[in-house]
Structure 1
């Protein structure tokens, strides 16, 4: 199960604010168990002082990396070396790289080549190459914005999905992609299993998250779109229901 994965959480303190930490840890729990929690930076500098106050509360190990040369990012190098050491230890199933820096693009790609599950987390300014190199990518602003309950309250008041963050797929682009996926995966009657549609969306858009569009789950998001039909079917197990989608 995904929630049983052992994940190494590596945070670039130079590119992430401490105000996101509780959302980072909460989101990781949806994907697996954080077995390594390390954060990288020059802890002798005043600008990282706010991080020092939260490290103990979340049991995160600070890794000291002095900036020996101006203009060279020593923090990136330390994180990358540690990531490869952890990979070769064979103790984890995946990595969460928390940064908005494109310098970690090759690292994410290399870890995936080794069969690792790679989640990226960063702000909206994160370059596309790093996002695409990850299996999944989460925007920190979205994770921190509101709770799932607040999202659903927001949806009830809105008739259209117009409040999409820059860098995410537009709702029109998303609808067109879903149409294509449904066509590719549907049965002879045009019905496609929604779970499979969701998996393919995540593969095509590593940053896809229903919360980006104001919904806590995929089914409510699809139900809000007039371009699709939704159908629930009972499975062979009495307490399990499968959801299917069809293009109108």
Structure 2
């Protein structure tokens, strides 16, 4: 299976530089970042913190002067580059890193062209941009990196982050419940492996880490509305997990 080639385009004016390493590690889970560019007016002191980060992570800075006060010219440069990359046919997907809703139409256009679009931004990101992406990941959940390594699988499943950025509210539970029922077989069972991607189609910013869980299974167990059946395949401790509504 060929791994997707991704173009990573970063709006330096609208995201912090503090957790770029963790963000690139997250991107690597979805494909290979073959193009990495970041846009800003680099003459401004407000983006000076990015400069060391660029060298450490091989990100190409694109200079865009602000010709008019109050206007973000970096947005236009990023959008033009994205369309050039799209027509070059060198990538299979895009990672747009910004908390700015100005990229909503760009994300929609890229998806119309058959590209996978993954968004990264802060919790304050407007809903339209989030909804325009196939998947949206909040930068806040990456600040602590991945969950600490735990030897026992059961310990991993029980582990929670101390600081979730969202609560498991009734709307989230409703989406999970509806998704389980949508995918259920004749006996009401749903394969967990299919559930996460299906929920993302309804809620692009869904991620168990938002709620303090490392994986989907411990989140499902914590909700305590589903019966769970774990089947040992007998191969390398691999389990097939199914669930249905109680």
TM-score when scaled to structure 2?
0.90
Structure 1 gaps, min length 5: none
Distance in 1 between residues matched to 2:155 and 2:172, nearest whole Å: 22
Please give the per-residue CA displacement for 1:15-57, whole angstroms capped at 9, x wherever unaligned: 1111121121111111110000000000111111111111111
Structure 2 gaps, min length 5: none
TM-score when scaled to structure 1?
0.89
Q: Is this contact kept in 1: 2:107–2:117, CA < 8 A?
A: yes
Q: Secondary structure at the match of 2:187?
A: coil
Q: How many residues align?
A: 242
Please give the per-residue CA displacement for 1:180-219, whole angstroms capped at 9, x wherever unaligned: 1222221121111112221111111111111111111111
Distance in 1 between residues matched to 2:223 and 2:139, nearest whole Å: 26
Distance in 1 between residues matched to 2:219 and 2:11, nearest whole Å: 33
Which position in structure 1 is the counterpart of 2:35?
A: 36
Distance in 2 between residues matched to 1:176 and 1:45, nearest whole Å: 46
Which position in structure 1 is the counterpart of 2:140?
A: 141
Q: Secondary structure at the match of 2:29?
A: coil
Q: Is this contact kept in 2: 1:7–1:94, CA < 8 A?
A: yes
Q: Is this contact kept in 1: 2:164–2:209, CA < 8 A?
A: no
Residues 153, 188 of structure 1: CA spacing in aligned structure 2 closer, same or farther, 3 A cutoff?
A: closer
**Range moving further from structure 2, 119-128 or 23-32:** 23-32
Q: Secondary structure at the match of 1:100?
A: coil
Distance in 2 between residues matched to 1:31 and 1:134, nearest whole Å: 14
Distance in 1 between residues matched to 2:194 and 2:158, nearest whole Å: 27
Distance in 2 between residues matched to 1:157 and 1:33, nearest whole Å: 29
In the alignment, is residue 189 of structure 1 matched against residue 187 of structure 2?
yes
CA drift of 1:238 comes to: 3.7
Residues 163, 228 of structure 1: CA spacing in aligned structure 2 closer, same or farther, 3 A cutoff?
A: farther
Distance in 1 between residues matched to 2:183 and 2:67, nearest whole Å: 54
In the alignment, is residue 80 of structure 1 matched against residue 79 of structure 2?
yes
Distance in 2 between residues matched to 1:205 and 1:150, nearest whole Å: 28
CA RMSD of aligned residues (A): 2.5
Which position in structure 2 is the counterpart of 1:208?
A: 206
Which position in structure 2 is the counterpart of 1:226?
A: 224
Residues 53, 157 of structure 1: CA spacing in aligned structure 2 closer, same or farther, 3 A cutoff?
A: closer
Distance in 2 between residues matched to 1:92 and 1:182, nearest whole Å: 33
Q: Which residues in structure 2 correspond to 1:1-80 (within 5 Å)?
A: 4-80=3-79
CA drift of 1:99 comes to: 0.3
Q: Secondary structure at the match of 1:106?
A: helix
**Range moving further from structure 2, 136-145 or 174-183:** 174-183
